Structure 1
């Protein structure tokens, strides 16, 4: 593998500099153009703007390196006076919107996709989706059109998840075998308005909503285990609104609920509808992810371990700071892919607390490491173990 730090940094800089929080077209153009000029892969730009490239498209199994080229809106400090995205290099890190989430990882995937020697029986796929930050609209559209690799490494953040409290978080790039999903719900309580001086003449919607909140508060949070890694969800009331005036019994009250889901489990929120006048509506449901193939999870971990040993100059064996299987709190496009039948893991350079922040940055050394991991898994045998 040609391991040019400058090539990786330059490509990351190029991608990060392209605004893509409102319109991903230009960023998709750059990804597509690079693939067409740097590889002989079959490149497709679908109607939604997803960029998908394939090597060995007739092979019996398929492995995808998956990312996205949209970002959340930048902070003022992440744009210059003309509104262009800024990117700076300081102390071995690249700073700017999208460096960690996830154009740095996207650059590492592109270079690994180009450089890997692909086994004859494997299709290697590169996919960069639009709309990941908007609920995975690009991934969902691609899946609806038939996108369904056997295996996928989704290059979202997994670096530092197993780090000890006294370690820098970028010491280890772990492999996430599961992540939480998010289900957002609204409870609407209705009643009958009346003058507040005649409480018996109406039905107080706020009281009904409070009864529903009591049910939510007592619900057990969902939890499960994936490859012996414990994953605990949560459920919380995040807002309540009702009433029109101090002297009027309210006839409507709305409650919002945030639930972090885990694979195979949901909190029984339907119980709130046992309260008269309360209706429960699901507003959005980002699926959780659990890797369905232990052999694949182990193969990616082996590739990550090999990359760490290369970083340390160690030929073999286990040394302090080895990567591990972990779980991740945040939903990614891996949830949609896993829901459609793809065996997924998440492995990428972003550390906890970097994505979506005003100070977003990524370690250049970790970007190089992730490039090695993606290159390694693209060439490695993947056991077909359940």
Structure 2
């Protein structure tokens, strides 16, 4: 028999949501209105937020219903819908792992649980393009005390186990502009070579020691790397401008000192994207989620870290204590054959239900 979580996942995955999340949001909103007695709202960005229960601190089950663009085999020609296919214990389709499966698991848990306090369900838009929905919700006052974000945490500590992520990296992307003065290449001293200034930037960046952090017995290591360079207009012209891009993976609490590049004459540093890292500082909450995950599976889950930024970073930066727990496995998200385990979908829904029964204390 196919479970309700699987059917919900199938329905959600089939709905296109890589350019416009409206239809997927409509489905989630209408299901919650029909199946629960919650107060269901849709904000100006398109986020679906529902609340039930009362008293004390607030726990949120958080996901997102946007996806990255599907590969051609993941779309049904002439209909716009996405292909969804079950093969054995796995469901295949764009968004099955990242992360409509987790949204479906949270929807069922949200409906079925008798919550210990105020329970919130939130499915955001725009996670794949920088956390647009989460940032909008936070700006509008979305501020749960605690959150379980349903991004991937399965098979991190070992096979067939869904772990609990207590910290993850962020990402800061920068453009560094080196400016000089153009001149004919036969009169080198008449100009200021922007490429030479850019090479000074490269040397400085290569010498930066990225920060690292010990969490849950693991070391989260930051990184900083020059990823692109472009400059010059012609073979016989001293270049007046050269641009670099830098990818930096950040860790909670500390950043690489990239501002040092502006100590070089003619250099400007521009931050293009800054996705914050996350760390859970409430051990009791993390242990409660770990106990719930342990009770929902035969394997032995662990507290782990994650290399990827998620909406938990935005929530954590706004003051919410977060963990990440969800069905997606390493290597599944954004792939041409993206899939999720049916067994793990059920496992995650049961985990969310157990957490909501016990937390807030």
Q: Do these two structures clear the TM 0.5 threshold for a shared fold by scoring above it?
A: yes
Q: 2:198 maps to which residue? A: 209
Within the candidate set 22, 38, 49, 1:25 is matched to 22
CA–CA separation in structure 1 for the residues paired with 2:14 and 2:288: 34
Matched, 1:78 2:67: no
SS in 1 for 2:189: helix
Q: 1:102 maps to which residue? A: 99
Q: 1:314 maps to which residue? A: none
- Which ranges in structure 2 are unaligned for 5 or more consecutive residues? none
- Which ranges in structure 1 are unaligned for 5 or more consecutive residues? 164-168, 310-320
After TM superposition, the score normalised by the length of structure 2 is 0.98
Deviations 1:170-221 (A, max 9, x none): x010000001000001110011111112211111100000001100011011
Question: What does 1:341-352 correspond to in 2, within 5 Å?
Answer: 341-352=319-330
Deviations 1:279-332 (A, max 9, x none): 1111110000001211100100000000113xxxxxxxxxxx410011011111
Matched, 1:68 2:46: no
Conserved 8 A contact 1:229-1:325: no
Question: What does 1:1-386 correspond to in 2, within 5 Å?
Answer: 5-56=2-53, 58-82=54-78, 83-119=80-116, 122-163=117-158, 169=159, 171-309=160-298, 321-382=299-360
CA–CA separation in structure 2 for the residues paired with 1:307 and 1:126: 20
Conserved 8 A contact 2:216-2:305: no
CA–CA separation in structure 1 for the residues paired with 2:133 and 2:213: 28
- Worse-superposed segment, 345-354 or 82-91: 82-91
CA–CA separation in structure 2 for the residues paired with 1:209 and 1:381: 52
CA–CA separation in structure 1 for the residues paired with 2:281 and 2:123: 22
CA–CA separation in structure 2 for the residues paired with 1:19 and 1:268: 41
After TM superposition, the score normalised by the length of structure 1 is 0.91
CA RMSD of aligned residues (A): 1.1
Q: CA deviation at 1:48?
A: 1.1
Query: Number of paired residues?
Result: 360
- Worse-superposed segment, 235-244 or 268-277: 268-277
CA–CA separation in structure 2 for the residues paired with 1:130 and 1:381: 26
Q: CA deviation at 1:382?
A: 4.7
Conserved 8 A contact 1:304-1:373: yes
Conserved 8 A contact 1:295-1:382: no
